[in-house]
A and B are shown apart, each in its own frame.
Chain A
């Protein structure tokens, strides 16, 4: 059977890697990559060869995406385009529009399409929030006490709502919702990876959150399987185990600067205003209470375990950036 796959968000690292893996699959006849910006060139850092992926520049918030889906007889949609931090120039409003309106347009187009058979949506474990009143380890059925109230996590929670609605209206389509822990790896560039490469890391005084990472290779493999096999449902995706923030800081050989939480928030807001880091309020909660999820459901569904544990994923990231603990060898 011939497959035509649409991948959104191919101008970002993981999206590009997924598109190139799918393009290398002989069972897939066409891979169409879309994004609002053109992919970075290969010579620049972060560029990934897209293989035979055909790139179409589409603003997801416009109905153009419906024409792309209709014109190419697409049967599989991999929606990777979820912006995790507001860009300095455009701000939060545009980010929300991109995330939520973009997903609505895409799902609307899929609902109209007669050819779409499989939809894979990337979400995040941030939808569970971080709270001192929630269980230590989240399974897919748990809902957080006080759900995400702002930013990226709220967008993702809203997108998930639309995905569930779509799955109800089109029961003939296989819908896979993947909640990823923070991506980690040599090619990942996220607020969290930028945080760990600073010389001094601000932390919240009196808290040592549990963090969980998923290695980019594992993330790409999970997305590849979801795009080429039928795995309906919602799944957590995270490397086994957790790392405490203090452990990450020590492994990276950085100094931590504990700040009382109001000071941490003020520093974050100031840093964002001058364009140093992307800081959002939910980061304060993550940096205080942390979060861990259970990926057992994914592992039994796929009969496969992520190759990198949380610790190994972080070590691989450190290796690629040449970071090492004080007096320790490169891990």
Chain B
């Protein structure tokens, strides 16, 4: 595990920014940096990937975090969030929020499709994420990492605009079993704002099947405006972190009790739905001050 403090941004400010930049370039060019066993490159994530996303976070979506204190400062925990927006931009914003404001790297569990695609597969690993499977989840939680899941998966991120802020089915509850096995708290998270970035009003299932992707969306601007239609609408975002749900009262073997896992999964889902409803009211219009 690479502590996030190993990333140079958390060092004492050094006098000469030029020397620091040169040292950075030199480290990168000579391969003199560390990645963890999952391929997470803390320096690359902080200095390159997140740096590219931060303007979007601060100025485009004006993301506001609520109740950040509910994120444990250290040790393993499982972040469970709603998934929306046609493209998984919410995953990136959640990562910036936790990295910059809670000072914890987020280790997301992604669909296997991500790891089959060129470019996306290695960027995903380098920024700390891995395949959604019980082995990887257990391993990360045992190492005391902050693991994130979107249990709705493609059903959530690809749902039509008319169903916005309605949580879809929460998979098979594998994430709950992993949390119980590791005895780590589950932190429910509601993300408001992602639903409006690409309002999906239609689908091209035939083309999607041909391209081997789960769906190919039609939005008011895509494919009508071509690449310009890929610019996300500047909705106002809020991310709320709910009170952690403890799992350390259960015996690790309780992870094999389907009834208990289903009930706990339902409970987490209800909590996230309720948080979503309240946070949506609190945010008000999606595109202030116009709409």
A132 touching B31 in the complex, CB below 8 Å, given contacts A206-B119, A244-B39 = no
Question: Which residues on B sit within 8 Å (CB–CB) of A328?
Answer: 26, 29-30, 32
Return the contact of B29 from the options A134, A208, A292, A325 (Cβ within 8 A): A325
Question: Which residues on A sit within 8 Å (CB–CB) of B33?
Answer: 247
Return the contact of A242 from the options B26, B39, B119 (Cβ within 8 A): B39
Are the C-beta atoms of A132 and B116 separated by less than 8 Å?
yes
Question: Which residues on B sit within 8 Å (CB–CB) of A327?
Answer: 26, 29-30
Question: Which residues on A sit within 8 Å (CB–CB) of B51?
Answer: none
Whole-angstrom distance between the Cβ of A114 and the nearest chain B Cβ: 42
Are the C-beta atoms of B39 and A210 separated by less than 8 Å?
yes
Whole-angstrom distance between the Cβ of A310 and the nearest chain B Cβ: 10
Question: Which residues on A sit within 8 Å (CB–CB) of B112?
Answer: 132-133
Chain A 318-331 per-residue mask, 1 if CB under 8 angstroms from chain B, else 0 = 00000001111000
Question: Which residues on B sit within 8 Å (CB–CB) of A294?
Answer: 37
A-B contact count, CB below 8 Å? 99
Whole-angstrom distance between the Cβ of A52 and the nearest chain B Cβ: 41
Report A's interface with B, CB cutoff 8 A.
Answer: 132-137, 139, 142, 204-208, 210, 241-244, 246-251, 261, 289-290, 292, 294, 311, 325-328
Chain B 128-160 per-residue mask, 1 if CB under 8 angstroms from chain A, else 0 = 001101011001000000000000000000000
Are the C-beta atoms of B30 and A132 separated by less than 8 Å?
no
Return the contact of A207 from the options B38, B122, B135 (Cβ within 8 A): B122
Overall SS of chain A's interface:
loop
A206 touching B131 in the complex, CB below 8 Å, given contacts A132-B116, A247-B35, A292-B37 = no
Are the C-beta atoms of A247 and B31 separated by less than 8 Å?
yes
Task: Enumerate the 7 nearest inter-chain pairs by beta-carbon distance, A residue then B residue, closest first.
Answer: A206-B118, A250-B31, A132-B115, A135-B135, A325-B30, A208-B122, A251-B31
- Asked if B104 is at the interface of the complex by the 8 Å CB criterion, the answer is no
Are the C-beta atoms of A244 and B29 separated by less than 8 Å?
no
A328 vs B26: C-alpha distance when bound (angstroms)? 9
A248 vs B35: C-alpha distance when bound (angstroms)? 12
Are the C-beta atoms of A289 and B135 separated by less than 8 Å?
no
Question: Which residues on A sit within 8 Å (CB–CB) of B36?
Answer: 241-242
> Which of B35, B117, B120 is packed against the most chain A CB atoms within 10 Å?
B35
- Asked if B121 is at the interface of the complex by the 8 Å CB criterion, the answer is yes
Chain B 13-52 per-residue mask, 1 if CB under 8 angstroms from chain A, else 0 = 0000000000000101111111111110100000000000
Question: Which residues on A sit within 8 Å (CB–CB) of B35?
Answer: 210, 242-244, 247
Are the C-beta atoms of A326 and B34 separated by less than 8 Å?
no
- Asked if B200 is at the interface of the complex by the 8 Å CB criterion, the answer is no
Question: Which residues on B sit within 8 Å (CB–CB) of A248?
Answer: 31
Question: Which residues on A sit within 8 Å (CB–CB) of B135?
Answer: 135, 137, 139, 142
- Asked if B125 is at the interface of the complex by the 8 Å CB criterion, the answer is yes
Interchain Cβ contacts under 8 Å between A and B, 24 examples = A132-B112, A132-B131, A133-B112, A135-B131, A135-B135, A135-B139, A136-B139, A208-B39, A210-B35, A210-B37, A210-B39, A210-B125, A241-B36, A242-B35, A243-B31, A249-B31, A290-B39, A292-B37, A292-B38, A325-B31, A325-B32, A326-B30, A328-B26, A328-B32
A210 vs B125: C-alpha distance when bound (angstroms)? 10
Question: Which residues on B sit within 8 Å (CB–CB) of A134?
Answer: 131, 133
Task: List 5 additional contacts besides A137-B139, A207-B118, A210-B37; criterion CB under 8 Å.
Answer: A133-B131, A206-B120, A241-B34, A292-B38, A326-B30
Return the contact of B121 from the options A132, A135, A241, A242 (Cβ within 8 A): A132
Are the C-beta atoms of B130 and A208 separated by less than 8 Å?
no
Question: Which residues on B sit within 8 Å (CB–CB) of A206?
Answer: 117-122
A142 vs B135: C-alpha distance when bound (angstroms)? 9
Whole-angstrom distance between the Cβ of A296 and the nearest chain B Cβ: 11
Question: Which residues on A sit within 8 Å (CB–CB) of B120?
Answer: 206
A249 vs B28: C-alpha distance when bound (angstroms)? 12
Whole-angstrom distance between the Cβ of B113 and the nearest chain A Cβ: 9
Whole-angstrom distance between the Cβ of A130 and the nearest chain B Cβ: 11
A62 vs B114: C-alpha distance when bound (angstroms)? 48
A243 vs B31: C-alpha distance when bound (angstroms)? 9
Question: Which residues on B sit within 8 Å (CB–CB) of A249?
Answer: 31
The chain B residue with its CB closest to the CB of A246 is B31
Whole-angstrom distance between the Cβ of B43 and the nearest chain A Cβ: 12
A173 vs B288: C-alpha distance when bound (angstroms)? 76
A207 vs B133: C-alpha distance when bound (angstroms)? 20
The chain A residue with its CB closest to the CB of B135 is A135
A132 vs B32: C-alpha distance when bound (angstroms)? 27
Are the C-beta atoms of B126 and A136 separated by less than 8 Å?
no
Are the C-beta atoms of B38 and A136 separated by less than 8 Å?
yes
Whole-angstrom distance between the Cβ of A326 and the nearest chain B Cβ: 6
> Which of B30, B41, B115, B117 is packed against the most chain A CB atoms within 10 Å?
B30
A244 vs B28: C-alpha distance when bound (angstroms)? 12
Whole-angstrom distance between the Cβ of B117 and the nearest chain A Cβ: 8
A326 vs B33: C-alpha distance when bound (angstroms)? 15
Are the C-beta atoms of A205 and B118 separated by less than 8 Å?
yes
The chain A residue with its CB closest to the CB of B34 is A241
Question: Which residues on B sit within 8 Å (CB–CB) of A311?
Answer: 34
Whole-angstrom distance between the Cβ of B45 and the nearest chain A Cβ: 13
A241 vs B2: C-alpha distance when bound (angstroms)? 11
Whole-angstrom distance between the Cβ of B217 and the nearest chain A Cβ: 23
Question: Which residues on A sit within 8 Å (CB–CB) of B130?
Answer: 136
Return the contact of A136 from the options B31, B118, B119, B136 (Cβ within 8 A): B136
